[in-house]
Amino acid sequence: MRKWGKWVAEVRQPNSRDRIWLGSYETEEEAARAYDAAVFCLRGPSVVLNFPDDPPEILSAGELSPSQIQVAASKHARRRGVAAADHDQVKEAEENMYMFGGTAGAVELGSSSFGGGGGDEAVGGGDGFFNTSRMWNF
């Protein structure tokens, strides 16, 4: 990571000292995905990738110029990966289970005390979720 908070990626061309600059990215995952796309283009589909479950979808990868590899790497880096989407779905399900007491469905809170009471009832049908007696006294 650079001192200004960006992640960068570059790759060496095979049998050369020349490098292809792949760009600066907000996250380390984006930079690693850009690298995956570039090495896929330069070395073929048998290369070891950082994200093997989400390989780049690049047609005629072996015939691309360095500038075309830069574009392909940038597009692949910013594409939402299958593994990342799966991870987000699992994380969301875990959060729902924690927030709703082990159920992933909706929780019915009951009737609210905002309608006519003004007193010591709790929002959510008197279960003590929020005590409105302190919140609404002006």
pLDDT tens across 69-90, in order? Answer: 999 999 999 987 555 555 565 5
**Percent of the chain having pLDDT more than 70?**
54
- The alpha carbon dihedral of 114, 117, 119, 122 has a sign of negative
The DSSP string of 85-122 is: HHHHHHHHHHHHHHHTTT--S-------SSSS--SSPE
Cα separation, 66 vs 42, whole angstroms:
9
Each of the 138 residues of the chain gets a pLDDT tens digit; together they read 556 678 999 999 999 999 999 999 999 999 999 999 999 999 998 999 999 999 998 887 788 999 999 999 999 999 875 555 555 655 666 565 555 555 444 444 444 444 444 444 444 444 555 455 555 554
